[in-house]
C-alpha cells in the first residue's frame, strides 16, 4: 500500500480543518537549499552568484482585504478571514512577517522583447514562505507589490489596484478554465497612493495601491537559469536545476540524461500551455523569458487580453502595438524562441546540443498535436482526420477574419450551427456574412459524418468552448467600481467565472460582446504595461 497515495491524500484533506493563516507551518526550501545573496542591503544593485536575496515586505499604511479566493484558500487549507482588517490582512498586506517565514526576492534575468536585459529579478514580488497543503503539495505564497527589493532597479516596488485586480481575477478564471496557472489568494488595498503614468504621456497621477498574494508550487522562470548561465555561475546553475528537479519533478528523470529529459518535459508542458492559450483566445501580452514559468504555468498577468474580434495580429499590449511580437498568432512561435533561449542557458548542464534540440522538437510536436485536438473538439469533431478537414479549418479562420467576429461567442454558439445563432458573434450584426454562410453549409455536411447524436455533440462542444471569459471591459468595470469602494462587480465575476463553461441564465450579460463604448476606452480593450 502506498501511504501517500491519492486516496489517503484525499482523506487527509477531508479531515483537515481549514486554519487561520498564522496557524500554518511555513517551510523555506528555496531559501534553505539554494545559495543566498550574502548582503542584506535593500537598495538596487547587481547581485552575484546567488538565487535570491532575503528581504522583508515594506509596511503599508492601511491594509484592507478587498477580495479573497475561497478556492485558493481551500487549496492551502486556510479559512477566509472574518474581517477586512485583522491578522491575515496584516500578513497579506506585508505588515507582519509570521514566525517561520523567511521572505525573499528571487534573482533572475531575461530577454525582453527579444533583447537580453541582464538582471531583472523580483522587483516588487516577495515570497513569504512555502506551505505544505492538505494534499501534501508544496505551495509558495508570494506578495506582489510588497515594496522595494535589490531587484527594483529605478521602480517603486508597488502595484496599482487596477493591475492587481486583473491579476487576482484572471489567475482564478484561468484555473477554472482548466489551464495551468499561478493562483491568487487575496487582494489587499494598501491605503497608499502609487504614482503611475498610465499612458506614458507625461501625465503621471496617484492611484490606489494594492497587493496580490500569489500562490504556486514555484515561481521559477526561464530567466532564473538564463541569468546564472549568462554570468557563468555554473555551480549555482546546477544547484538551481537540481533543486527544481528534486522539488518539482520528483522521481521523473532517472535516466542517463536527467537535465535533457527535464528540458523535454518543460518543452512538453509549454507546448500544452500554448495550445490552451490559443484555444481560448488568451493573449498574454508580455511573453518575455522572465515571464515564462519553468513549471509550464501561466504567470505574470499584465497587459493580457482575451481575443474579441478574431485577429491573429491582435495584441492587448499598447507597448507592443508596433512590433506585435506578442500578438495572438505569434504566441506559439515566441514560446519556442523562449525555450531555445532556455536551452542555451542549460548547455553547461547538457553538453550534447542534440538532446536539447530533441526537446525543442517535442515542443513543436506537442503544440501541434494539442492544437489539432483542441480545434477538432472546438468544432465538435472527434479528430481532424478526414479529407477536406484542413480546408474546413483554414476556411473557417478566413471567414472569421473577414468580418469582425467574436472568438468566444462564435465557438460557443457553434453548437447550434446556424447563421441566426452565430449572429450574436458579429460586431456588426447587420452585415451579411456570405463566407461564413458557405462555410456553415460545408461544416454541417461534415458534422453528419460524425457518429454521435446532436445533443451529445452540443454538450461536448459546450464543455470546451467557454461561455464566459474575463474580457478586458468586464475587468475595467470591476476596477472602476472597486476604486469607488464597491466590490460587487468583482464578486459577481468571481462567482460566474468559477463555472465558465456553464450557462448561467442570470448572468447572460457577462457573456456579451464588448460594447462599442469600450472599443477605444483605456483598459477595456488594449492597455499599457503600466502597473
Residues that bind ligand AMP (CB under 6 A): 120-124, 151-152, 155-158, 286, 290-291, 300, 302
Residues in region 272-291 near Mg ion by CB under 5 A = 291
Cβ 284 vs Cβ 326: under 8 Å: yes
The contacts of residue 261 (CB under 8 Å, 6+ apart) are: 252, 253, 255
Which does residue 176 touch among ligand AMP, Mg ion, none (CB within 5 to 8 A, set by kind)? none
Q: How far is CA 128 from CA 63, 73, 170, 334, in A?
A: 17, 16, 22, 32
Q: Which residue is nearest to ligand AMP (CB)?
A: 123
Smallest distance, Å, CB 183 to Mg ion? 16
CB 226 within 8 A of CB 345: yes
Nearer to Mg ion by C-beta: 95 or 152? 152
Q: Which of the listed partners (Mg ion, ligand AMP, none) does 425 bind, with a CB threshold of 5 to 8 Å by partner kind?
A: none
Active site residue 276: no
CB 367 within 8 Å of CB 333 = no
For residues 304 and 426, which CB has a smaller minimum distance to Mg ion in the complex?
304
Residue given cell 490606489 in the structure block: 208
Residue 410 touches which member of ligand AMP, Mg ion, none, C-beta under 5-8 Å by kind: none
226 or 291: CB nearest Mg ion: 291
If the CB atoms of residues 146 and 510 are measured against ligand AMP, the closer one turns out to be 146
For residue 185, which phi and psi values (nearest 5 degrees)?
-95, -45
In the bound state with ligand AMP, the residue whose beta carbon lies nearer, of 146 and 494, is 146
User: Any idea what the Cα angle at residue 219 is, between residues 215 and 221, rounded to 5°?
Assistant: 155
Which residue carries 504595461 as its cell?
Answer: 529
Least distance CB 432 / Mg ion (angstroms):
45
CA dist 307 and 295 (Å) reads 25
State in angstroms the smallest separation of the CB of 148 from ligand AMP.
7
- Least distance in angstroms from the C-beta of 469 to ligand AMP: 22
Site string for Mg ion, 290-309 (x = CB under 5 A): -x--------x---------
CB of 112 to ligand AMP, least distance (A): 7
192: left (phi over 0), alpha (psi -120 to 50) or beta: beta
By beta-carbon proximity to Mg ion, the closer residue of 142 and 330 is 142
Residue 176 or 196 with smaller CB distance to ligand AMP: 196
CA dist 305 and 525 (Å) reads: 7
Half-sphere exposure of 459 (CA within 13 A, CB side): 5
**Long-range Cβ pairs for the range 378-381 (8 Å, 24+):** 378/279, 378/411, 378/414, 378/461, 378/464, 378/465, 379/414, 379/443, 379/461, 380/414, 380/415, 380/447, 380/450, 380/457, 380/458, 380/460, 380/461, 381/446, 381/447, 381/450
Match 512577517 to its residue by C-alpha cell: 97
Q: Does residue 72 bind Mg ion (CB under 5 A)? A: no
Residues 337-396 that bind Mg ion (CB under 5 A): none
What's the count of helices (H) and strands (E) in the chain, helices before strands? 17, 12
Residue among 37, 122, 276, 290 flagged as catalytic? 290
Chosen from ligand AMP, Mg ion, none, partner binding at 155 (C-beta under 5 to 8 Å by type): ligand AMP
The CB-nearest residue to Mg ion is 300
CB of 4 to ligand AMP, least distance (A): 36
Residue 157 contact among Mg ion, ligand AMP, none, beta carbon within 5 to 8 Å by kind: ligand AMP
Residue 484 and residue 476 in contact, taking contact as beta carbons nearer than 8 Å = no
Q: Which residues are catalytic?
A: 290
Residues making contact with Mg ion (CB under 5 A): 291, 300
Amino acid at each position: 500500500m502506498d501511504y501517500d497515495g491519492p486516496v489517503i491524500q484525499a482523506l487527509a484533506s477531508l479531515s483537515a480543518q481549514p486554519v487561520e493563516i498564522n496557524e500554518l507551518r511555513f517551510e523555506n526550501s528555496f531559501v534553505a537549499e539554494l545559495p543566498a545573496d550574502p548582503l542584506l542591503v535593500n537598495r538596487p544593485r547587481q547581485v552575484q552568484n546567488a538565487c535570491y536575496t532575503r528581504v522583508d515586505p515594506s509596511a503599508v499604511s492601511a491594509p484592507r482585504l478587498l477580495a479573497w479566493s475561497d478556492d485558493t484558500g481551500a487549496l492551502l487549507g486556510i479559512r477566509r478571514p472574518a474581517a477586512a482588517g485583522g491578522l491575515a490582512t496584516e500578513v497579506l498586506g506585508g505588515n507582519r512577517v509570521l514566525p517561520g517565514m523567511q521572505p525573499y526576492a528571487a534573482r533572475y534575468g531575461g530577454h525582453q522583447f527579444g533583447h537580453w536585459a541582464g538582471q531583472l529579478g523580483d522587483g516588487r514580488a516577495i515570497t513569504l514562505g512555502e506551505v505544505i497543503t492538505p494534499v501534501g503539495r508544496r505551495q509558495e505564497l508570494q506578495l506582489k507589490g510588497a515594496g522595494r527589493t535589490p531587484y527594483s532597479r529605478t521602480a517603486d516596488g508597488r502595484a496599482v489596484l487596477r493591475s492587481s485586480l486583473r491579476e487576482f481575477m484572471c489567475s482564478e478564471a484561468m484555473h477554472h478554465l482548466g489551464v495551468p496557472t499561478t493562483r491568487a489568494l487575496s487582494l489587499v488595498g494598501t491605503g497608499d497612493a502609487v504614482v503611475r503614468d498610465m499612458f506614458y504621456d507625461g501625465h503621471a497621477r496617484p492611484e490606489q495601491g494594492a497587493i496580490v498574494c500569489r500562490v504556486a508550487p514555484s515561481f521559477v522562470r526561464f530567466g532564473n537559469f538564463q541569468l546564472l548561465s549568462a554570468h557563468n555561475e555554473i555551480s549555482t546553475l546546477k544547484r538551481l536545476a537540481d533543486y527544481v528537479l528534486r522539488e518539482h519533478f520528483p522521481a521523473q528523470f532517472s535516466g542517463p540524461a536527467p537535465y535533457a529529459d527535464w528540458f523535454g518535459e518543460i518543452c512538453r508542458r509549454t507546448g500544452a500551455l500554448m495550445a490552451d492559450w490559443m484555444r481560448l483566445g488568451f493573449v498574454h501580452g508580455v511573453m518575455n523569458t522572465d515571464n515564462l514559468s519553468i513549471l509550464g504555468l501561466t504567470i505574470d498577468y499584465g497587459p493580457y487580453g482575451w481575443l474579441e474580434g478574431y485577429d491573429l495580429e491582435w495584441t492587448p499590449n499598447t507597448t507592443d502595438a508596433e512590433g506585435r511580437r506578442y500578438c495572438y498568432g505569434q504566441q506559439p512561435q515566441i514560446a519556442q524562441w523562449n525555450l531555445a533561449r532556455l536551452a542555451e542557458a542549460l548547455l553547461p548542464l547538457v553538453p550534447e546540443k542534440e538532446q536539447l534540440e530533441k526537446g525543442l522538437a517535442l515542443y513543436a510536436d506537442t503544440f501541434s498535436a494539442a492544437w489539432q485536438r483542441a480545434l477538432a473538439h472546438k468544432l465538435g469533431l472527434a479528430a481532424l482526420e478526414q479529407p477536406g478537414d484542413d480546408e474546413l479549418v483554414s476556411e473557417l479562420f478566413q471567414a472569421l477574419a473577414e468580418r469582425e467576429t467574436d472568438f468566444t461567442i462564435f465557438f460557443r454558439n457553434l453548437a447550434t450551427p446556424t447563421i441566426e445563432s452565430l449572429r450574436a458573434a458579429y460586431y456588426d450584426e447587420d452585415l451579411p456574412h456570405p463566407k461564413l454562410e458557405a462555410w456553415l453549409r460545408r461544416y454541417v455536411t461534415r458534422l453528419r459524418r460524425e457518429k454521435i447524436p446532436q445533443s451529445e455533440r452540443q454538450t461536448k462542444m459546450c464543455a470546451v468552448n467557454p461561455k464566459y471569459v474575463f474580457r478586458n471591459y468586464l475587468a475595467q468595470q470591476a476596477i472602476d467600481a472597486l476604486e469607488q469602494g464597491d466590490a460587487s462587480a468583482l464578486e459577481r465575476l468571481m462567482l460566474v467565472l468559477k463555472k465558465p463553461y456553464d450557462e448561467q441564465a442570470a448572468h447572460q450579460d457577462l457573456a456579451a460582446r464588448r460594447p462599442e463604448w469600450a472599443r477605444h476606452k483605456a483598459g477595456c480593450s488594449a492597455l499599457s504595461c503600466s502597473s
